[in-house]
Every structure is written in structure tokens, then in C-alpha cells.
Amino acid sequence: MQVEGAGALVAGGASGLGAATSRALAEAGAEVVIADLNAEKGEALAAEIGATFVAADVTDAEAVSTAVELAAGAERGLRVSACCAGIGWAERLSHKRGPHDLEYFSNVVKVNLIGSFNVLRLAATSMSANEPDAEGERGVCVNTASIAAYDGQIGQIAYAASKGGIVGMTLPAARDMASRGVRVMTIAPGLFDTPLLAALPEEARTALGAGIPFPSRLGRPDEYARMVLEVVANPMLNGETIRLDGALRMPPK
């Protein structure tokens, strides 16, 4: 799929992995729409890279529809969708205070899994109306899971379940959209240098990076963004989840 001139939607595109993806797509010539809850960061980034910002919660069908429609207004229509929005929560299934809080579990699943599905269903539907390229392709949707989908640690049951759901829907979504020429892929990053880890002391960040086999450091957001571009460029990548983790396998804790 050619990026230049294509409409691209990046949900959760104002910071971290999403911001790096927004930049990479803009640099590659895409007409980028950034959808995020953080208007201050989103508007600043949009101004920096020549993108459009839309305030949107990924679980809000109307807000995401607005973002999709804006991206579809590009000369070649919406061709690339990347969903990088997500939240975390740490709590054991059962602990001294009682069972895991159901509301927090539901909220993590709502944002991470249902939010990703909401972006996916709306973006894929828009892409279906595009004229196919020479390969018969109309668009590419990229979701963001986590290696926690496979190696969920103690206290990560909500997060792991939500990310595991994203992995699980990748293949059936790709099969659903195959006849329309829309590919669906997922990237499962390991430990990346995002705002969440930036809050940790440098000693703790270094220790986390040292536990990664190779390269023994935290992943860089631009490395995630480069993988998005690789997925978009390679038409045979479809219905699969790619672990982007430096061969890391997370221990129980």
C-alpha cells in the first residue's frame, strides 16, 4: 500500500507510540488525522507535522466516525488506520481487600479492546469504498496489542485480557475484510520508552532494558512506527500479530 497521498488515521496519536506513528506517516507523505483525548498534545503535534487533530475517545462511535470521515477526505481516501490508544491497571485477581474490582476490569477492556474494535470497524468500512490499487488493496488497519497478551504478569489480568482480545480478533477481522482488499494486522510491543515508563526513575528504566535479550534497552517509539510502515508496505502481511520485543519473554513479576 502506497502511503504518499493516502489518508491516515492514528487513534491515540498524540503521545508515545501513537505520536511516533503520526510523525512517521506524515513524513512518508500521508494526510494524517490524529484522534486523541489530549487536545493540548494533539493540537501541538498536528501543528508540528501538518496533520489534523480531532478530540476523540476511541469508545465513542460518533467521535471516531468524525475522525474517520476527515481522514477519508484525503485525495486517495482513508487507506491507513493505526490504533495506539490504551490504558493499564494493576490489580491481582484476588487480594487482601477482596476480589479484583469489576469496574476497573471492565474499563480496561472497554478502552483497549472495545475501543480498538470501534476504530477498526469504522475505518475498515470506510476503506471498503476506496478504489483498489494495482494489487486490489483498499486499505490497512493496524491494531496495538502487547506481549502481555501472551506473557501477562502478576497483577496484569485486566490488561492481558484486553490485549489478548485484540490478538484474538486479528485473524477473523482479516478474513472478514479479505474480499474487500482491506488487511488487518496487530503489533504486540514489549517494553518501550513511552510516557508510562518515563515516570520511572532512570535506574529502574535501565534495569528493565537490561532484561531484554537484544537489544538490551527499552524500545524506541520510532521503532514501533517503522513497523507500522513495514506492515503498510508489505501486502502479504495480513491476519497476524507481530511481537516487537527484542526476544523478551516476561517473567511472572
* Catalytic annotation, residues: 159
Q: Given the C-alpha cell 527499552, which residue does it identify? A: 218
The pTM score is 0.96
- Encode pLDDT of 43-83 as tens digits: 999 999 999 999 999 999 999 999 999 999 999 999 999 99
pLDDT at position 18: 98
Using 50, 70 and 90 to split pLDDT, how confident is the model at 164? very high
With a cut of 80, say whether residue 96 has pLDDT above it: yes
Q: Quick check: bond before 215 cis, omega within 30?
A: yes
| pLDDT > 90? residue 100 | yes
Q: Which CATH class is domain 7-192+219-244?
A: alpha beta
Please check the confidence at residue 98 and state whether its pLDDT lies above 80: yes
184: left (phi over 0), alpha (psi -120 to 50) or beta: beta
Contact between residue 240 and residue 170 where contact means Cβ atoms under 8 Å apart? yes
Q: What is the mean pLDDT of the chain?
A: 96
**pLDDT beyond 90 at 206:** no
| pLDDT attached to residue 212 | 96
Residue 219: per-residue pLDDT:
96
The pLDDT of residue 196 is 75
- Assess whether pLDDT exceeds 90 at residue 144: yes
Angle at CA of residue 68, ends 30 and 178, nearest 5° = 85
Instruction: Reply yes or no on whether the pLDDT at 195 is more than 90.
Output: no
Question: With bands split at pLDDT 50, 70 and 90, how would you rate the model's confidence at 1?
Answer: confident
Cα–Cα distance measured from residue 30 to residue 139, given in angstroms and rounded to the nearest whole number: 13
Least confident of 12-21, 31-40, 180-189, 196-205: 196-205
**Average pLDDT score over residue span 180-192:** 97
Residue matched to cell numbers 514501533: 224
State the average pLDDT over residues 215-235.
97
Contact 182, 141 (CB under 8 A): yes
Distance separating alpha carbons of residues 227 and 206, to the nearest angstrom: 24
| % of the chain surpassing 90 pLDDT | 93
Q: What pLDDT score does 201 carry?
A: 80
Domain layout of the chain by residue ranges: 7-192+219-244
* pLDDT of the residue at 151: 95
pLDDT band at 177 (very low <50, low <70, confident <90, very high): very high
How many CB atoms sit inside 10 A of residue 252's CB? Answer: 9
d(CA 143, CA 123): 12
CA distance 1 to 234: 7
The Cα–Cα gap between 140 and 170 comes to: 12
Q: Burial level of 102, CB count in 10 A (0-12/13-18/19+)?
A: exposed
- For 44, how many CA atoms within 13 A lie in the half-sphere containing its CB? 7
